[in-house]
Amino acid sequence: MHAIKDAVHDYVEVDGVARDLLDTAAMQRLRHVKQLSTVRLVYPSASHTRFEHSLGVYHLAREALTQLGIDGARADAVRAAALLHDVGHGPYGHQTERIIERRLGRHHDDVHELLETADIAGVLESHGLAPDVIADLIAGRGKLGQLVSGDLDVDRMDYLLRDAHHTGVPYGTVDPGRLVRVLKFVDGTLALEEGNVATAESLLVARALMNATVYRHHVSRIAGSMLERSAERLLDSTDVTPERFARMTDAELLTSLQGCAETTEMATRLAERRLYKRAVWAELEAVPDAVLEADDEAIRAFEGEIAEAADVPARSVIVDCPGRPSMPETDTRVVVSGTVRRLHEQSPLVQGLQAAQRAQWRLGVYAPEADLEGVERATKRVLGLE
């Protein structure tokens, strides 16, 4: 038995297939991909990586399996999937996932191809596990896939807790010790045992407060948007392939951006934290449907129009329009008076949180400090904001 010290879960016991997977290049790469991409420009302590998060998810999966009484090869498969669940992430994690989806046509948790690569496939097979089965679990398929990716998955439990620990923000109201103890399968569906409505609510609440305070902090969104635009430009103006791009580390992406004439200025701005500012920060009600439903191409077109109207270079305008707010945890199953119910049927808090999320939603338009006024005026006209 081999145990790794973790700042969140204390000791993580690593054995069997997990121990061998840790040594693969794909897992070691996650040491170089930060968990919260640009958040550390706001919360300087938040430099933690997807590697330590992956260990944490593996640890919680292990505990949940023990509590559920699942062992043998099925448990091995879930543990492997938990450890590998983030290997599909590109550099800076979620920040580049839309680029990768557009250019490679695959979502970050579609890792079927990746798990076929020599070293991972080799390790899995040497432990009697089929790469395809693991990839399906990571995509949340099947009964046990719910543990890895679903409303009550151990991924969420770990990241809320870990992000709170590393940012210092006390809003990670998650009690994993309780959560893993009250999980149960009811007719193949993962649910929380009787008496745990508040336990289920605590997960939603944690995410709502972390969203407002950490994940969607405007400084982090600005830096993230600058990064994303630069990455697009890098792919457009160099011979970096999307395949190569998707396997970069954070540092490799930054270095590439610095080395490319088209993106070097933006890269230096990011490295030295000289960020764009908010020209516009609009509430959901103020944004026309045409903007809300615009795809990436349309957003790019809006940016061009705004830049022209404001008489600034195209790259001086970034339109950051998040999707309509969603809250998947509201489907969480809880046993109430002997029946499995969805949380939103049971908890009036859910509606409140959904409304709060809509109230927090903002469309951002960012520009260099000198251009703010012009861009603000132009944006209002071009996008038709109220």
Indicate the residue among 210 and 235 with the shorter CB distance to a copy of itself: 210
State the minimum distance, in angstroms, from the CB of residue 175 to a copy of itself: 5
Indicate the residue among 44 and 313 with the shorter CB distance to a copy of itself: 44
State the minimum distance, in angstroms, from the CB of residue 295 to a copy of itself: 29
State the minimum distance, in angstroms, from the CB of residue 88 to a copy of itself: 18
Can you tell me which residue has the tokens 């009697």? 128
Between CA 22 and CA 27, with CA 23 as vertex, the angle to 5 degrees is 55
State the minimum distance, in angstroms, from the CB of residue 380 to a copy of itself: 17
The torsion angles phi and psi of 374, rounded to 5 degrees, stand at -60, -45
Indicate the residue among 66 and 126 with the shorter CB distance to a copy of itself: 66
Indicate the residue among 146 and 330 with the shorter CB distance to a copy of itself: 330
Nearest Cα to 26, choosing from 147, 149, 159, 115?
A: 115
Indicate the residue among 11 and 314 with the shorter CB distance to a copy of itself: 11
State the minimum distance, in angstroms, from the CB of residue 84 to a copy of itself: 16
Indicate the residue among 54 and 146 with the shorter CB distance to a copy of itself: 54
Nearest Cα to 88, choosing from 67, 66, 62, 117?
A: 117
State the minimum distance, in angstroms, from the CB of residue 73 to a copy of itself: 23
State the minimum distance, in angstroms, from the CB of residue 126 to a copy of itself: 18
Indicate the residue among 43 and 159 with the shorter CB distance to a copy of itself: 43
